[in-house]
Structure 1
């Protein structure tokens, strides 16, 4: 499906502006070449490597499964071709969401340039996180990983995985690889590129690591947990852009973010530090995909702990920055001003005597009922100032 962006200007063909404005059309044509290749016998063998999953193995089904045979998959170099094709698909889907959803909302809300870029980022990521979280949770339920936590490390290495599991990992790698050209297509600011590269690199490092080291079960659980927390943050930011008084979502996200980091560390230590450490087969064997040795376990735990510590450090800095901004935006207490002004005598009081003693002596004291009302009124005034 080609995406056409309306523009009054017609930039030169193959120029920078032409590629940016028509990148979805260009990528759609490239993806169509692979799909058309499936229709001809000469090119079908090459095109099928890009479009469908490779390295499938058919094994007899167990007694619990209704089918006679089950198709499982392992990984190999041909997966790079499949990832490339789905990178093209991710770029096309990204353009569809941007033009038909986010751009229409931006035109109605009239955001500033800063809010415009952040709104687009949160809009794209919230859709991806929600879809991935639901998809990953359905795999966890269908494969009984939730009901049996020992499946995270039992029967390691997990070299053979079902179709949905492999397709999930291929899609995840394709999405985060597509984020690199999107930095160019979306005209990302130079000062924002280092931050984008860091978190894109962290996602690719951990997802590819879980996929190559046959830790797909643990990786799936941690991804679903992380994506749920990130989805809550970005959806809260979208609501905040529509109403700046909205803060409840960020409060819930802050609590779940800390709990998510804690659960990630617990599951990682439980799986790698205890489950795999007690496994019988602890011999490095590349042919069988067994990486369960001491150095492997230390490296995995070190990378996970370092990433969680980095995320917590960024989270603490973010909360401190918000606290400073909130404190600086608060006006000085009007209650203190009122008390200070009350302590200074007015010009009329100074003329009548020191601190207006003569004036107060000439003024008759109020009746008891009026005095009670005045006291109550002062208490209510100070209470309203405190609430402000």
Structure 2
């Protein structure tokens, strides 16, 4: 596809060759599945990768007798997630090549800022798309209009098309972030941090999907993505102008609010909503996981994650305040040194620190020797 311009051609199948051409290689693999749809012998296999599986047609109750197509999950979803992981890698490469790399060349960032700018640029685009998409689903499906919608009629085994596709896309994106650590030549010191938050995303999203808590997970994702979007957009503006820090102040406030809302919704859902439901027996056939052990485990996992995020947030703020105090101390010290030097210079050139007109422009009169 020619997504990247290469000056030198490294040896075929070498690490550098794969890194430079990974978008083209992945595009060819994705094209194989798309071409498979065109032939009858391979169409059944290709469909499992490209389209959503496990659809159920139900008659709609009401005045209109139209049919409603809903979806549940199954093992074939792994094939769909794999295909859209390839799509995510291709989109990542396009955004990097045609947007972020061009900005980097103009701004002349250092290696550290270059890496952080690329990370924030990619995540800003993803968080923006996911937030708008998720908010549209919440509005169209009326999930956020009433908190009881998060647990009423549990288990939510049947999902509308856009809800299932949203979860498939989320899992595909965060799974694509793992090979991107290799493709983007991520620095060794940044790999553990990115592995931790990527694994947390995959764990929580997959948990909400498999436990049939898709409504609850969708609300939390939209809330979290909005706050993360604000952070990474603020960081992009900060890289452009280091004096622009207002976005971080707003983000810090909303970050704490989002953590409190997440904990409140979690306690409300698991501690009151699902705990008060009539059917509280484990039934894998119907997808009912509403038992005490699952509720406690899910709530504990969410609480531990929120505590971990708050701990990282507090450390981040303390580090920022410490760096800000050091910068202010250095500026104050430099100002004092400069003022002292100016005073010494003035005293050397004038009387009481004031340089007179005669001192600046007229040479001193020489004393005439008497004969």
Does the TM-score normalized on the shorter chain lie above 0.5?
yes
How many residue pairs were aligned?
Answer: 343
Q: CA offsets, 1:159-213, max 9 Å, x none?
A: 0010000000000000000001100000011111111110000000000000000
Listed as ranges, the matches of 1:68-83 within 5 Å are: 68-83=66-81
Determine the structure 2 residue equivalent to 1:38: 37
Determine the structure 2 residue equivalent to 1:10: 9
Distance in 2 (CA, whole Å) between partners of 1:268 and 1:221 is: 11
Determine the structure 1 residue equivalent to 2:269: 271
Distance in 2 (CA, whole Å) between partners of 1:303 and 1:147 is: 26
Distance in 2 (CA, whole Å) between partners of 1:61 and 1:233 is: 42
Distance in 2 (CA, whole Å) between partners of 1:79 and 1:67 is: 30
| Counterpart check, 1:309 vs 2:302 | no
8 Å CA contact 1:24–1:92 kept in 2: the answer is yes
Q: In structure 1, which of residues 279, 284, 287 is the aligned counterpart of residue 285 of structure 2?
A: 287
Secondary structure at the aligned position of 1:12 is classed as coil
Distance in 2 (CA, whole Å) between partners of 1:162 and 1:3 is: 37
8 Å CA contact 2:49–2:82 kept in 1: the answer is yes
8 Å CA contact 2:3–2:94 kept in 1: the answer is no
Distance in 1 (CA, whole Å) between partners of 2:297 and 2:7 is: 54
| TM-superposed deviation, 1:62 | 2.2
| TM-superposed deviation, 1:319 | 0.2
Unaligned runs of 5+ in 1: 342-347, 349-355, 357-388
| TM-superposed deviation, 1:288 | 0.5
Determine the structure 2 residue equivalent to 1:372: none
Distance in 2 (CA, whole Å) between partners of 1:133 and 1:45 is: 33
Determine the structure 2 residue equivalent to 1:179: 177
Distance in 1 (CA, whole Å) between partners of 2:81 and 2:92 is: 16
Distance in 2 (CA, whole Å) between partners of 1:212 and 1:305 is: 19
| TM-superposed deviation, 1:98 | 0.3
Distance in 2 (CA, whole Å) between partners of 1:67 and 1:204 is: 39
Listed as ranges, the matches of 1:224-373 within 5 Å are: 224-331=222-329, 333=332
| TM-superposed deviation, 1:329 | 1.1
| TM-superposed deviation, 1:146 | 1.9
Distance in 1 (CA, whole Å) between partners of 2:61 and 2:41 is: 38
Q: CA offsets, 1:290-341, max 9 Å, x none?
A: 0101111100110000000000000000000011111111136579969xx8
Listed as ranges, the matches of 1:22-171 within 5 Å are: 22-63=21-62, 66=64, 68-171=66-169
TM-score, structure 1 normalization: 0.85
Distance in 1 (CA, whole Å) between partners of 2:20 and 2:335 is: 57
| TM-superposed deviation, 1:67 | 5.8
| TM-superposed deviation, 1:52 | 0.3
TM-score, structure 2 normalization: 0.89
